[in-house]
Chain A
Amino acid sequence: AQTVTQSQPEMSVQEAETVTLSCTYDTSESDYYLFWYKQPPSRQMILVIRQEAYKQQNATENRFSVNFQKAAKSFSLKISDSQLGDAAMYFCAYRSPQGGSEKLVFGKGTKLTVNP
């Protein structure tokens, strides 16, 4: 079974600075999808960024980018120019290829605090 590990229960960053959240996963599959979700105090689950394992290029979405290291099974999220609105819980998630399990496997989350 796949597992996802987020080793940092809490992180903090100064506004306008850069922070990196760590995520590692374990799988025997060669094709899969990885995600970072943001959960602000409103509790809504918001997709931040998505990475297909077959793509070597790291995904980017504005100030958010990932460092995907397939061999190391590592999928870290970098937030540049941090803003107060980035404060939230961040969850790393794994999904098997389409046609396989419908399940998203989540890490336990990292609580990010942004200091003004």
Chain B
Amino acid sequence: EAQVTQNPRYLITVTGKKLTVTCSQNMNHEYMSWYRQDPGLGLRQIYYSMNVEVTDKGDVPEGYKVSRKEKRNFPLILESPSPNQTSLYFCASSSFRNTEAFFGQGTRLTVV
């Protein structure tokens, strides 16, 4: 089954404790992105990748890091999380042949 898998689905952490949210897709897609969703703001892009070892900032990259060492994986790293990073996070992937983006199930992150 074609899918984008994020883990964990829920995470509560403390300020400053490094964390990683994993994202994996099994569709051999070139493009992958991370978005955060906040009430009243919709979804905003954090980082994106157009292929292995090619990443770039989106609209709200501050406080986040990403890497794309393999085509299927695109982890999101918060090296020193802060409460303003409490949000719902989505990973998405798409192919340059098709405009449709496939989304993961979302990760609800709470930083206390």
Residues of B within 8 A of A35 (CB): 100
Q: A108–B42 contact, CB under 8 A? A: yes
Q: B31–A102 contact, CB under 8 A? A: yes
A95-B42 contact given A43-B106, A103-B48, A103-B58, CB 8 Å threshold: no
Q: B42–A109 contact, CB under 8 A? A: yes
> Is B43 interfacial (CB-CB < 8 Å)?
yes
Contact flags (1/0) for A13-33 with B, using CB distance below 8 Å? 000000000000000000001
7 A-B pairs whose Cβ atoms sit less than 8 Å apart in the complex: A43-B106, A45-B106, A50-B99, A102-B49, A103-B33, A103-B48, A108-B40
Contact flags (1/0) for B28-52 with A, using CB distance below 8 Å? 0001010100001111110011100
Interchain pairs with CB closer than 8 A, number: 53
CA distance A107 to B37 in the complex (A): 11
Shortest Cβ gap from B52 to chain A (Å):
14
Contact flags (1/0) for A77-116 with B, using CB distance below 8 Å? 0000000000000010001001100111011110000000
Shortest Cβ gap from B96 to chain A (Å):
6
CA distance A74 to B65 in the complex (A): 35
Sort chain A's interface into a size bin.
Answer: 20 to 34
Top 6 A-B pairs, shortest CB-CB distance: A45-B103, A106-B42, A108-B42, A106-B43, A43-B106, A102-B48
- Interface centre among A45, A52, A98, A109, by most chain B C-beta atoms within 10 angstroms, is A45
